[in-house]
């Protein structure tokens, strides 16, 4: 049974990335999701990360809300 928190920090850890607020902020500062690009199709994911994100959204899994939040944060103008 998956007992991890399905929030943004948990999503980053699930993707094999640091989930601390500073690390998330640094990731968001370094990456951008272009208009019309699906989160899972962004060029900065490795194949496993892209597959996980694509499945999370397509299956409306427990991670879908956090993935949607990440997509929104990556799409914001900075």
Which of the four pLDDT bands, split at 50, 70 and 90, describes residue 2?
A: low
pTM for the model stands at 0.90
Percentage of the chain modeled with pLDDT above 70: 92
Q: Which domains does the chain have, with CATH numbers?
A: 8-75 (1.10.10.1130)
Mean pLDDT score of the chain: 94
Angle, alpha carbons 10-11-16 (nearest 5°): 95
**In sequence order, what are the residues at sequence separation of 6 or more whose Cβ sits closer than 8 angstroms to the Cβ of residue 9?**
19, 20, 21, 24
List C-alpha distances in Å: 77 to 20, 26, 29.
22, 15, 11
């Amino acid at each position: 049974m998956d007992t991890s928190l399905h929030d943004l920090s948990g999503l980053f850890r699930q993707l094999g990335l640091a989930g601390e607020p500073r690390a998330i902020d640094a990731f968001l500062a370094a990456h951008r999701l272009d208009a019309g690009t699906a989160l899972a199709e962004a060029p900065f994911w490795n194949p496993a990360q892209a597959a996980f994100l694509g499945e999370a959204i397509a299956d409306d899994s427990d991670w879908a809300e956090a993935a949607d939040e990440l997509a929104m944060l990556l799409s914001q103008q900075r």
